[in-house]
A and B are shown apart, each in its own frame.
Chain A
Amino acid sequence: MSGSTIAEPIAPETGVVPAGAVAATPAESDASCRLPVALMLVSAAVWVFLAGVCGLLASVKLHSGGFLSACPTMTYGRLYAAATSSFLYGFALQAGLGTAVWLMARTSAARLRNPLATAIGAAFWNLGVTVGVVGILAGHNTGYEWLEFPGQALLLLFVSFAVVAVQALLTFHDRGSGESEPSQWYLIAGLFAFPWALSAAGALLLCQPVRGVVQIAVHTWFSSNLLLLVLTPMGIAALLHFVPLLTNRSLASRSLAGFSLAVLMLCGGWAGLNLSAPLPAWLVAASMAAGTLVMIPALGTLVNLRRTLAGGIRSVEAQGPARFFGFSAVALLVAGVVTGLISFPVVNRTIQLTFFGVAVRSLWLYAFFGMAAFGAIYHILPRLAGCDWPSSGMLNLHFWLAALGTIPTIGVVAAGGFIQGHEMAKLAVPFSEVIRLSMPALRFSTLGDLLLLAGHAALLGNICLMCRSLCRAKCAVLCGCEGMQARGAGGTR
């Protein structure tokens, strides 16, 4: 299926679309990326469920210190790292990558180049995540948050991401028209930034470690790259593609999208340092300033989407995946504004070193990116499978569980973190009292983790149902007459 595109390698460069190079129809695009994208999206759903299990256990351990304490694997530090890493690499990046490949093929009206290589890349990606999670649980984490996977796993991830990303970029190169879409710009940014950040950080933290606090700078640089230059562009790309698509409009402003991307790319990599970091003052100041500016791309994207929906959001029927995208867009706005606010020194002084930071990260990762990725999964998988979701009730259930779950895991945790920071600044309050005061928030967040896990189970259940019905259909086709006979027999029964 890829043969036809490889046969005309020169066509896009000449700028003239030859008569033979007919743009692929959406169905052809879907068919070309069926195997790799389905593999990535389904694996992402499995990983997000596993991450939820680890996260729930970690959340319980946070306020019940004696729970499951006999087993080294079940230590809070290891469970939490496993939960974060499997969410980030197993779910977020994998769903982002799958969505990116599919979007690239669709928006370029081209067939995916080398679907088999892409699928093998995706398989190795999952192998890498598995190795990494097992490594963390066995105590081989690297000690850098968000980069906890042992080096071998990271190497696997780097290679497999590069393989998949190259296929996506080649597909972009094959696009029928010379025009490029804003969502493609964002995808290119994300696809490029991850290998770049991972290789630089891996080399400087694990292979040839830099000395002392330079590690903090490199590590912060890596995490903000991963969050703001890889996942955020991928999430925004999904919003910029799906929101106009699902509402039958066209994106309001290409230039605003480009401007938002430029600001995001310029500032994103700098953000993330706290006032307390034992680093040169100029670096901390630059980081805070950049963090404030992260507000701009979030606001820009929201303005763009709002103008796209001119005529009112209420006029749009928010059903199915569209709900997820709507939630994600609002979360992007909140996340951008909050990130901007906590970069002001006066606010940062209060909330640094509290779990307010955890809430902000969840806001970006779950409420914004995660919801966009769920929306993409719900939109894309039926198109690849060729059949609709077996249960729209479970889809809605997932949405409501996820939406409700974010209240305790983000809102309440943020409030608890603020209380923690506020009390910690008072000398008269002993530290044990500070923690006691912020404890109810952590207890409540376990409820949120439970809701989110139930949502992930709903997603996984829906996928299983879909697989079952697909298998049945496949069996019916493969078995031919036998199947027909069986159906006939079933009918008489």
Chain B
Amino acid sequence: MNAGPLTFLGILASVSASWFGMVFMPQLQLGGEQPQEIAETGQMYPSRRAGLAEQGAEVYRANGCYYCHTQQVSQDSSDFDISLTDVGAKRGDLGRVLQDVRPDLAQAATLRALGTLPTTLKSFDREFTEYFTNLLGGAGAKISVERVTNEAPKPAPGQPEEARFGITISALGANAEAVAGVVRRMRPSLGIPSAPVVLARGISKEQADDLSKRLQAAGAKVQVTMNLRGVDMDRGWGRRRSVAADYLYDHPVMVGSRRMGPDLSNIGDRQPSRAWHMAHLYNPRSTMSEESPAGVDSLMPAYPYLFTRRPRQQAHHEGHSGHSDAIHLVGGDYDIVPKPEAEALVAYLLSLKSGPGVFEAPIPKAPSAQAPSKPAAAAVTPSAANAPAAGKTPTVK
């Protein structure tokens, strides 16, 4: 068997297939990507880095920073919140839906409505009146029953007028919740919490769709908001997942492949202090040590060669006391003056910021109604705390 040409053809075909899939198709799909206009700000994203930051990217590349730091934030999943914004007219239907979905909310709302006792629940026929009277009595409520006439529906001609009764609750007794449960069955509309209220958090898209359909059928207006979930974002490394647009002007693209150090996608947002970065580059242990809040010595290599050391006096002598750039380290007799490389590198690091929400990865905004989002806590608590947001699916009616 002379398999030479055949082997060669097979190899050519198979390597071409992977070239087609991994090189040609991505180029076709993303190679012509252009900056897009961000609706809120009206600005184009992304934009090119400023010259100094662009030089800093070269310093970042030359020293292989990308071996230890990634610049990619991923999103593990997304979930949804549903809020009731308007209860609508079909209060009875809505009350029944809420009783299924959030019996606790319905209960609380019922109890609130029963706050001003005595309350009279009217117009039950004889059979229902007996039934509910027994239930309410069993739950420990103090009640009285009286006959009402004017609210009864007009009977068909020739039929005897049916007797209607009103039940007045004058005290809830010891077991208020059981009474509320019975009242909700008598008057579902009493179990409607006052809008706006969050009905569910962190549910799947299917659940959110199902629930919003049922609520809308009951005449209510709801708001469905999307939350982005991911440990990276919860650590405060970004507000949304990284997308292709974020790297549009990078060459080389240094997304990194492992995290010996933290992700740097938004280091410019997280640590906007130039002085901190300078000190960290000169001696990482000076900003991150066992005594610092991190509680661990930084592992990062020091980069003293990005700085020059000058005796402080000499600097004064030369009239360079205006070394506003110099870093003053505690107890040092020297001015540590950043070289242009260090200035560029820090400019680059400060230019790394979390991008705005884009079409393929929107950032849910916290609506003003639910303002108490705590920025400090956002870094440690899941973004559920940052709560309902006018994300992908805004108010639906």
Contact = CB atoms under 8 A, between A and B. Distances in A.
Interface of A: 15, 61-63, 65-67, 69-72, 75-78, 80-81, 139-145, 172-173, 178-180, 185, 188-189, 192-193, 196-197, 200, 204-205, 209-221, 225, 229, 262, 265-266, 268-270, 274-280, 283, 286-287, 290, 349, 353-355, 357-358, 420, 424-427, 430-433, 435-436, 439
Contacts of A265: 10-11, 14-15
Contact-residue size bin, chain B (C-beta under 8 Å from the other chain): 35 or more
12 contacts: A66-B302, A143-B61, A145-B66, A179-B1, A200-B19, A200-B23, A221-B19, A279-B244, A280-B29, A283-B26, A354-B258, A357-B257
Contact of A69 (B61, B254, B301): B301
A270 B252 contact: no
Nearest to B251: A209
A258 to B, nearest CB: 8
A175 B3 CA distance: 12
Contacts of A139: 62-63
Contacts of B252: 142-144, 205, 209, 215
B248 interface: yes
B243 interface: yes
A160 to B, nearest CB: 21
A353 B257 CA distance: 5
A69 B304 contact: yes
B22 A220 contact: yes
B253 A65 contact: no
Interface in B13-54: 14-15, 17-19, 21-23, 25-27, 29-33
B285 A65 contact: yes
Interface string B213-240: 0000000000000000001001100000
A430 B301 CA distance: 20
A427 B303 contact: no
Contacts of A439: 299
Residue in A214, A220, A427 whose Cβ sees the most chain B Cβ within 10 Å: A214
Contact of A279 (B26, B68, B300): B26
A65 B14 contact: no
B136 to A, nearest CB: 48
Contact of A269 (B17, B68, B235, B241): B17
Contacts of A218: 22-23, 26
A278 B72 contact: yes
A435 B262 CA distance: 9
Nearest to B61: A143
A70 B22 contact: no
B150 interface: no
Contacts of A65: 284-285, 297-302
B21 A143 contact: no
Given A141-B64, A193-B11, 12 more contacts: A65-B302, A66-B301, A69-B304, A75-B303, A205-B252, A211-B248, A212-B30, A212-B33, A269-B15, A279-B244, A287-B22, A353-B258
Given A188-B8, A266-B14, A270-B18, A70 B304 contact: yes
A6 B385 CA distance: 78
Nearest to B306: A72
B254 A143 contact: yes
